Amino acid sequence: MTTRAELADILFPDTTETVESLLQKYPDRAGNPTVTRFAPSPTGFLHLGGLFSAFISRKYANQKSGLTFLRIEDTDQKREVEGATELLILALKKFGITFAEGPIGENGQEIGNYGPYTQSHRADIYRVFSKKLVAQGLAYPCRMTEEELNATREMQMAAKIIPGIYGKYSQRRDKTPDQLLEKFNQENQTFPVLRFRSPGDTSKKIVFEDLIRGKIAMIDNYNDIVIIKGDGLPTYHFAHLVDDTLMRTTTVSRGEEWLTSVPLHLQLFAAFGFKAPEYAHFSAICKLEDGKKRKLSKRKDPEANVEYFFQEGYAPEAVLQYLLTLADSSYEDWQKENPDSSFLDFQFSLEKMNVAGPLFDFVKIQNINNNYLSLLSTAELYAQGLGRAEKYSPELADLMKKYPDYTQQALNIERHTEKDPKRFTLYTDISKNILFFYDEERENLKTQKPDFPENIPLETRKAFAQEYAENFDLSGDVLTWFDQLKEIGKKYGFAGNNAEFKQGGFIGKVGDLAMFLRIQLCGAKQTPDLFSVMKVMGRERVVSRLTDI
């Protein structure tokens, strides 16, 4: 009669290592630090929710003087996208999120003593744990076909029985090793899936503590779930047990979709006598559509891809600050009380995280980005704006590099003054606020500029522009400059103020002339302060543009 240990040897003939030897190979970390992980699947771009998870995991560990590692969960080979791992790591680096361990070295080289950090490279390790479960009678091979699984489910649903593979609904659960081997030999010894023999039942409830949601009670897991697939790789559930045990993870923060799996995971840890990590299940970022709340979608929402924020001109630091407001609403009050502190100094609390699913808010994230850019020095704004332009607006980048001092003077107009209009909400606002300063863009702007005020005919524009070009003075303050504009304007029939205009005899007001100057010099109706613009442009450039009608 075959024992379960012998069955395990037959199923895993080349697996000689033991769970105990692996635990010695990957010992407790020195000092027992808080250890968190970010464990994405390489199935495409980095989702905003993934960035949120990585940021929260690392920040929590940092607050505890711990560490965060990167693990690539690529056991679903059918969904894997080539190059996705490299793109994920690169995207995270753009946000300043790095890891202590993982496939983070040059060309994906692994750094750290608790690897491999890619699940598809850990098949031998999973077999060791699988073999032990089989030997203890806590796992069994199963080869139910898709048709059999569907038929079982349909029968259960029709009879209003809780669906699943458990108890009498599992064809192999209570078979002896000899009976299992008989079927195994008949099927040419190809590896079947392995199911966990759950000790739970539907009459039991378990209670556990979630770091975000508090105490939770759930029905115990009763399903004999698959832990090893036909390709020899584990399901998420089994990989979680093995990897987070050997990598000595202390805190698992993950999406709320895994909350219902906690009873199963606790059973798996208990099967080996291991202590489970602490769990923190955060809600998905949502948005409103037709008045209904839904999760941010990879298919529907461009902002789900973090690359969107770079393309649209958001600062990585501002995006992270926005995510902090989703994680802990007290961040905004803290920021007001600590305006000179880095957002990274904020000590967030898992207990304060939103359990209802925070709504993505474009207005709020743009306000945060605007505030972030407004606090930068002009040199910092120039450097960061140039960095973005080099990737997304190479022609603008060339001009910024060609005229660094001139560009910074243009950027600096009205910044950090009492009347600071905070013109730069996004990096993309740099272009529309400074492009007209460059002579190289003059011809393009001439073809795109709006119409001049209708009450200023061409001959008047030419005559006024010629006289103004010969006499304007930028040496005084803005009031002196404006008084001069009014004096010259009166010669051409423009009132200096509304009161004068109401008296009659004028074809327009001085504001019309200021608009003419703005359009003639800048090619736009909305620009920074006109006096400041003219000072930055300098007399020669202003005269050249005024007389080019």
Q: What is the pLDDT of residues 91-150, one digit of tens each?
A: 999 999 999 999 999 888 999 999 999 999 999 999 999 999 999 999 999 988 889 999
Question: Length of the chain, please?
Answer: 549
Please report the pLDDT score of residue 501 as a whole number: 83
Q: What is the C-alpha to C-alpha distance for residues 173 and 180, in angstroms, rounded to an integer?
A: 9
Is residue 103 within 8 A of residue 110, CB to CB? The reply is: yes
Minimal CA–CA distance to 141: which of 107, 187, 199?
A: 187
Query: Matching CATH topology for 4-15+124-282 and 449-546?
Result: no
Instruction: Give the residue ranges of DSSP H helices in 138-219.
Output: 146-158, 177-186
Residue with tokens 């902090």: 324
* Cα 449 versus chain centre, distance: 38
β-strands 508-509, 494-495 pairing: parallel
Is residue 374 within 8 A of residue 420, CB to CB? The reply is: yes
Is residue 514 within 8 A of residue 452, CB to CB? The reply is: no
Please report the pLDDT score of residue 264 as a whole number: 98
Domain ranges in the chain are 4-15+124-282, 291-374, 377-439, 449-546
Whole-number CA gyration radius for the chain: 33
Please report the pLDDT score of residue 453 as a whole number: 82
Residues of the chain falling short of pLDDT 70 = 183-190
Q: Which helix (H) or strand (E) is 509 found in, with range?
A: strand 508-509
Please report the pLDDT score of residue 190 as a whole number: 65
Fold of 291-374: Glutamyl-tRNA Synthetase; domain 2 (1.10.1160)
Residue with tokens 């080019």: 548
**449-546 CATH, one of 1.10.8, 1.10.20, 3.40.50, 1.10.10:** 1.10.10
pTM of the model: 0.90
Q: What is the C-alpha to C-alpha distance for residues 345 and 342, in angstroms, rounded to an integer?
A: 5
Please report the pLDDT score of residue 112 as a whole number: 98
> Any residues with CB less than 8 A from the CB of 363 and at least 6 apart, and which?
none
**4-15+124-282 CATH, one of 3.40.50.300, 3.40.1360.10, 3.90.220.20, 3.40.50.620:** 3.40.50.620
Please report the pLDDT score of residue 47 as a whole number: 95
Please report the pLDDT score of residue 77 as a whole number: 80
